[in-house]
Structure 1
Amino acid sequence: MNGLSPQRGPSSGGTLVTIYGSNFVVGSVGETKVTFGGLAGEVIEVQKDKILVKTPPHPSQGSPVDVRVENPDGQWAVLAESYAFFSSPRIDSVNPPRGSSVGGTEIELLGEQFQPGIQVYIDGKAARSVLWLNAGQVRAVTPGGSLGAKTVQVVNPDGGSFSLEGAFAYEKSTVLLESVVPQKGAGGTVITITGKEGNQFDRAAQVRVGANFAGGVTYIHEREIKAVVPPGTVEEIKDVTVINPDGAQDTLPGAFRYIIMPSISSITPNYGWVGDLITIKGTNFDKIFDPEQYHQPQVLIGGFPVEIVDATKIAEGTLLVKIIEGNLGPADVTVRNPADPEQGVTVVGGFTFTTGKSQPQVHEITPNVGSTKGGTEVTIRGEDFRIAVDGSLPVVKIGNKTAEIKKDVDGEPFVAPTQMVVISPEHTAGPKDVTITNPDGGTVTVPDGFTYKIPEKMVRITSVTPDRGTVEGGTPITVFGVNFPLPEEVPQQAQVGLFIGGNEAGEVEVLDTNTITAVTPGGYVEEGELETAQDVMIEIRRLDGQGEVISLERYTLPGGFIYRIPESQPRVDRVFNEETGDNTGPLAGGSIIRIEGVDFRSGLKVYLGKIDPANQAQVQSVETGSIRAVTPPASVAGPVDVIVINQDLGQAILKNGFVYRGTSMIITSVTPEFGPVAGGTRIRITGANFDEDTLIWIYLEAASNPENIIRYEATEVELEADSFGTALTAVTPRFTPGWKNVVVANRYGEYIYRNGFQYLIPSVDPIIDRVILENGDPARGPV
């Protein structure tokens, strides 16, 4: 005995194991004995160099057992501790058998052979808070999932697993909105949305204000989420809607009103003490109070009201104020409507109360990598960055070259006590010190704080495909560019973020150094427009061995993706194969599938997997509620999303809606195992599952050069009747001398039986003249 495969299986037995060796007795199925840890297995087939045997049920779990083979004449051999039985858990029931698609349902699994440390999966997603109670009882909390009945799987620490199909069904969640706070503001306002008793916000819920989607949605708990309001038109009142991934949604009519909001662009100086005069510049200071009731807005620094000394230029956005009181340290600066505090703006840490010379500090430089050509927008975060009374700004040097401080459209500098934005100057490649010097001489230096790269080494986005999609998000995209991290570097050595219009994309995956795939977040379209272009930004963080960020690099593709508000609202409910009735089909493609749903329109496109021409299905017919299409081929078995896109970009996705199946065929023997190079040898191939498809092919292929496979097709391939898919015959093609692989293939894939047939050059071709019995009579006899 030389070895066996596989080397482990469930303790319930039934695993087909091939034992390799020599001097086995061909055909002695009923006489050759094989035992696993002393218990006899069922011998299926015996060849001179291999035995196929089915393992018996066995009480051993984890520890390897001896495998013993005994020939009919009593000779035997043993492979010590060569096969391990793992547990055979079983699920008898799941209670409750249904729950919300947002997850969070506490379920109890009853069964047997559950081990401490067991893991529970629902539709392939790990359950939370798994609690092992005993060998027959486990509790867990369901993850979120798509609607419908799902498979529940348990996996023991020793690898033993069991799956119970349709054991838990996800039902539509409940969204019941109660309030939105604040109820008014401008684009960029952070709102808190609260649900009523029984509300179930999903962690991936989306928020829509009017027709546009909010960004920065943050899940707090099942009754509370936060979101950033998209831009809008002043005095328009908009509905607020929350949409869960399963389609459940609720709307609060007129829950948010767009109003004029002030902004602060500069505070000069941004440090000082009681009695000092401060100039605050911004916009809309004169539009946030009722002049008949109040003469000016309210200004606070560090929470203390200040005296407005000069408001004559308030229409130009300038206020001169005097500090009345304060506390040492950073302070927020607020300008607001005296009658309505919600109508205001606050610059967090915009002023520093101090009585001495500045002591600037730097906490973070982002990004800290840029091109030698300069022009990189760099944000420096820290403390005690100052603007002088005369408006003098801090001086920032990168490698002894002065960086330009960025200014807004009104010429105001981006400088605050805790943050400033600069534009990197041109420089040579390599790390450079970053030095900041305040107007009063206070200074700080960050050694090697910024690194220059030649342009050819910088990350860059060249295109996004598709470059447009629905404002609801969820569009699978492919981002092309250069100098992306290697896939094997993510996430231990590098982290990749992708942002569209400032909102983070989901399901980001690095395929290679030039290709990234992702799913778009929800976006917004400017009021009165059908579509709006948004910037696409990539952010790459390089990590050290301890997971700390050592470099951060960014690139922005202006207007790289276009959001559009589609008129259609398609939905995919079900996908099935017309031939099999289920949602599976072969890797080779060609399955005719039916897609059922709503709002399908002529000219639509269907994709199985990511949006890519290679994954596009051939649409045969379209009705409002049904699509008939032919599946494209796939390279990897497993579930894929089914994506339907109408011509107006209305999009629907059914997650894991179709499953590509690989082949389950295996070959265990080829008889005879040799024949002439001229071909024509009728061979019998035994194995399993040859009947899984109506089409089947047999090939002989050269076994020596995997880089240049030469393959010839066998003829007269026939499945043996009453063999239950375990045997077929074929006639070998012509081939060169030597051992060849035997390949069985169908639309689900192929199985390669290596060195299964040897081509020989015969020295003499034998000739059969006649066949007779020993007594000379014609050759015939009873069946």
Structure 2
Amino acid sequence: MRTLKRYFALIVTMSLVLGLMVQAPLVNAAVNDYVSVTKTVNPTTITTEDEAEVTLNVTGIPPANVVVPNDVVLIIDKSGSMAPSYNNGEDKMLNAKEAAKGFVDLMDLTKHRVAIVDFSSSNMIGNLPFTTNPTEAKNYIDTINANGSTATGDAIDSAIALLANHRPEAQPVIVIMTDGDATQPSTDPYGYAKQKALLAKDNGIIFYTIALLKSTDDPVTSGPNILLKEMATTSDHHHFVLGSTGLSQIYAAIVKEIGMASAYDVTVTDNVDPNFEIVPGSYDNNIPKPTVTGNTLVWDFNELKNSTLSFKYKIRPVDKTKSGTFPVSTATSKITYKDYAGGARYKLIPSVNLTVKLPAPQITSIIQPFGHPDGGETVTINGKNFFNGATVTFGTVAATNVSVVNSTTITATVPAGKQGTVDVTVKNPDTQKAIGQYQYKTDPIVTSITPANGALDGGNTVIIQGNYMMKGLTVKFGDNTAAVTMYSNQTYIKVTAPKGAAAGPVDVTILNPDETSKIVDDGYTYNEPPKTDPEVLSITPNTGVVTGGDIAYVDGKNFKNGLQVLVGGKSAATTYVSTTRLKVTIPAGDQAGAVDVSVVDAEGKTYTLAGAYTYTAIVYPIPTITAVTPNTGLLAGGNIVYVDGGNFTNITKVSIGGKDAPTTYVSATRVKATVPAGDNVGKVNVKVTTGTAEAELAAAYEYTVPVIDQITITSLTPNTGLLAGGTIVYIDGVNFKSGAKVAFGSNIVSSSYVSSTRIKVTTPAAVTPGKVDVTVTNTDGGTGSLAQGFEYTAALPTITGMTPNHASKAGGDIIYVDGTNFDNTATVTINGNSAAVTLVNATRLKVTVPANATIGDVPLVVTLSNGLSVTATFTYDNGLVAPAPILTSMTATSGTAAGGNIIYIDGKNFVNKPKVYFGSTQVVTVTFVSATRVKVTVPAGVSGPVDVKVVNPDGQESNTLTYTYN
């Protein structure tokens, strides 16, 4: 191929020499650079342990107005996977053929030639030799059909054979388009295809690849896409489409590109600076992949058009202890290539700088990580990236005796510090640093607690002095936490003593946030609280009658509001006066004598002064009786009498005939008593008793037998009423008394007393109509009757109206019958026909009208269960009259005499189930569609016109339309 290139260069050079005088721009173009190159590194700063990625961007700069002839072989995949059945109906074969024909149309075949290789299985590879006739090429493409496997390598071999005789002045090119995996030969078909592509590129053939992927494929992981990318001259010579969309545009871009004059036989040599080494495998994704020897990378490819190729690889520092800024490559890095005239050219590759710094130190542990605040301990700091000259500080204080043992170990002497945690900083000579932590810790010291005692309720300020007390510490008095009110420094704090659980000494505990602590045994004492229990000293006055009620004052100590006083164990009404005095009302005593006086607090505790109060007996004056009013009464008792006399008290009791009479004190000269029932008629003694003193008046009260007045009934108003009862009746007569009972026949009811000559009753219900005796009985047994005095009558229904009073003879209408005395047994007949009845109330019935054969007035009868009935006139009519149907049109006005065709009759006032007539023939099949349309199947008829009419179920007929039988 390089011999072919020399021939090509010779021919182009001769052409240039001959055209120097007339084509000066071409001469100028021949001396320009046809490539540009840039280099970047990312990141621009790394540590000696890191890597950086170098990117070379090599861009082609083809000369203007120069077209290099090309001999192009189109390789077109025609395997079975290109057929629609493999692609959800998409005809990839057709799309590929149309795109290929578009490629031919775009080629300038006055300068270029095109050949075609169509392939599937290895025994199904066809070709069209080079031609400059576009019609011939397109006609050949039209003959390609999808079938077979995919022998990609053999297709390339066929293309190489066609290009073996390419024109010396033409650039050989292969453009392959395939949609699937290489499947032949059966052993390593991918490797075989790549081997044939490499053979083509080694022969100077520019290799374009197009992967026709499925729309659902991922191009990053697709096997066919990866294969074709590796087969291409460079990554920019590879293209892919998802489905067939964009295939024509790719072919068009390749056509535009292949005629460009470009850089040929390009070699990119990048020599990495000795301070770095190339990271193996970091360049494997480049296309083409470079050859790597030591610190040199070399990329070889046949041509570079007007595109940019990006080559990437990684480098890392060689010396892990060396820092600084270094170039990533040497000045010998360059690109060599030939221009379209065959002239040898080169382009130096610029370098960029990469700053390398030592890695920052890291601390993984400090042993021991804690120690006394006085310092002096030797610690070992473990980590990595420690360098000679590193310094160590604890907080802001430098450690002494710092020794960098190796890159992972430092020893140092801890300086003195304050109790708590500080940062430990290791700083390398390059100022990079690492931070760990160290804890100064020791148990706190307590030298004094002032004051060392206080009230049990706490609340007083206590000063604690000592050392190594940390901010945020906790102080406890016994089990209770004290509030820290001031932290001055590690030697002085103030706290508020908490409330104690009990009087006596408790431990004082100092607990630092770092969990160091100090317990001062019995460090603080809670004082005994002063006594506050109530104490009873005296009661004034200290004597009183046993009936109680006297006011007294209890004197003592520590009285509180809410105390209760007991006198003799009985609660006394208590009023708080002061902490030393309570006011009480003495309760009644059980007997004369001395009793205890106590006070009880809210917790139920009792505080007593024994024998402090003395009850004295009562001496009552002897009562007298002067009169009893009234002094007579019935033997049954229950009446009220007044006993007059003297020396009565509120405990005075009365007895009559030796029986206690409930007594009410009125005054010192009068009491009221309720007379108990007597045993016999006659006079009895009356006695009054006050305590032990009594007086008796002989024969002061007389029990008598009552005189019964017989009752006379003169009239009842009204003297009739319904069997259901409930009639209010006034009974007139003489000797009526309150509480009298009235019997209607054998049914007894209570009465309302109006006067001795009138009472009021409500009649009870009776079973049968008729007259009954009426009897009145007073509570004293007096009675009187009026024979046949009241008459029970059966209820007679009445009809006062009907709403409405007429209905359709078809029945089913609802009417309401209004009247009186209706009940739930009522029945209704209309013209002798039973009607459904619902009782609304005693004055209204809801009735469903039964059907009747004729219209006109008929009887409506309401009958009760007692057999009584009432009759009214009801009218049957024809009900509401619907309008007659009206015909306006038919969808067909003529048809065969055989009938059977379906037509629609349009109009209005149609109802369900109409009858339709064609002449005198009734239609069998009629469908009610709506009030404006019916559907009919035309019956058979005889030739000629007939009238068509519709008859509604109520018998109303429509107008007629004409239908003609053919």
Report TM bin, short chain. Answer: under 0.3
Flag the structure with higher strand content: 1
| TM-score scaled by length of structure 1 | 0.21
Structure richer in helix, relative to its length: 2
